Amino acid sequence: MPLPLFDLFQELREPLSLQPEQYFWLLEAIKKGFGCSNIEDLKSICRLLWLKSVNSEAENKFETIFNQYLQENQKLTPSYTAPSVDRTQEKDTTNETVDNRQERKKSTPTYQPASSKPIIPQNTASQIRLTSAYQTAPPIDITESKQGYILKVSDFPFLERQTRHSWLRLRQPLRRGKTPEIDITATVQKIGRDGICLQPEYKPQRLNQTQLIFLEDREGSMIPFRPIIDRLFNTVEPKKFASVNRYYFRNCPRNFVYLQPKGTEVLPLERLPLERQRTVLVIISDAGAARGGYNPQRVEMTQALLDKLQPQVKSLFWLNPIPSSRWTGTTAAAICKLLEGRMFELPQEGIQAAITQAKQG
């Protein structure tokens, strides 16, 4: 089935950093009658839905690509020009008989108004192909496809910049040592107090003492989510924290975690670098929600894990890539109850809520 204005969305997708849902916003708007009067009306609704910020660069890209698209699809765009009527040639029909009026009405051409249906160029060659969101082949970086739309990692529902700033909220600055930068205010106060300055005061060094530790379920039903988890981990800036460590497990850690995704080298749980006042522990797993069903043994194993780790960390939360609507009746719902609600969805809102909760302790 051909998709209206899908080619236009594809052309604007990269320049304007459009997300998949923004195409469906346009379809919904058209369905409700917006953007259907004429080309300018259509351009206005596209600009409203797709231009995230008003700046000259984005505006120029939009205008250029939209106008080029119209030129290439001009023959597919219907138009209507109402004919002009010469009032001077109108006849006086005051004394015209009823029969003559009906006869003249039949012979007079009528002009239908412009269709109220959307003016939508359609490319019959465009077919949608929503490739699996989490497949790893073909490569995630593919941006174009002759077969239709391919969902990229950048289309996932969290934004790199916002997520990077969200992690920084977990920092705990600690003044330790001095920097080479002179503290002007402190130096002036010292001169006023002592009447002499033999040595200037220097600004203290601020160190972040937070330790971030990630425990990531990497196998089984979590295999499709590897690209998005990797992207999430890349939003963490290690230099902004005291340390950032990433370990791996399968379904639920028992007595150890893996040091590499596919390696055999393990680290016992007792040797995890946990500190009560500094460590924020992040567990990433679907908790059984991907396949559904309830596994009491997994719940018991998770309870044992939490009992062992929670007393040793400052805060702990769980990120689940499966929507919460699919947790009901599964192992994930039971584990979420063990966590007292500290299991969050992976999209942007879930990440921010998890970090807010961790910040509060």
Divide the 361 residues of the chain into consecutive groups of 10 and give the mean pLDDT of each group.
76 82 86 84 88 79 88 57 38 47 47 41 36 33 47 66 89 71 82 80 76 93 89 90 93 91 89 92 94 92 94 94 92 94 89 89 65
Q: 209-360: what CATH class? A: alpha beta
Residue 138, preceding bond cis, omega within 30 degrees? yes
Distance CA 326, CA 318 (A): 16
Selection from 325, 318, 359, 315 nearest residue 341 by Cα: 318
- The residue written with tokens 């522990």 in the block is 281
Distance CA 3, CA 38 (A): 19
Q: What residue segments make up the domains of the chain, in order of their start?
A: 6-77+116-154, 173-206, 209-360
Amino acid at 304: A
Q: What is residue 208's predicted lDDT score, i.e. its pLDDT?
A: 74
Residue 83: both structure tokens together: 């004919």
Q: What is residue 91's predicted lDDT score, i.e. its pLDDT?
A: 43
Q: What is residue 283's predicted lDDT score, i.e. its pLDDT?
A: 96
Q: What is residue 13's predicted lDDT score, i.e. its pLDDT?
A: 83
Distance CA 37, CA 43 (A): 11
Cα–Cα–Cα angle for 6, 17, 2, nearest 5°? 10
Distance CA 213, CA 206 (A): 21
Selection from 167, 317, 173, 335 nearest residue 242 by Cα: 173
Distance CA 247, CA 238 (A): 15
Strand order in the sheet with 211-217: 266-268, 256-258, 243-249, 211-217, 279-284, 315-320, 343-345
Q: What is residue 100's predicted lDDT score, i.e. its pLDDT?
A: 52
| Model confidence, pTM | 0.58
Distance CA 295, CA 329 (A): 10
Q: What is residue 38's predicted lDDT score, i.e. its pLDDT?
A: 84
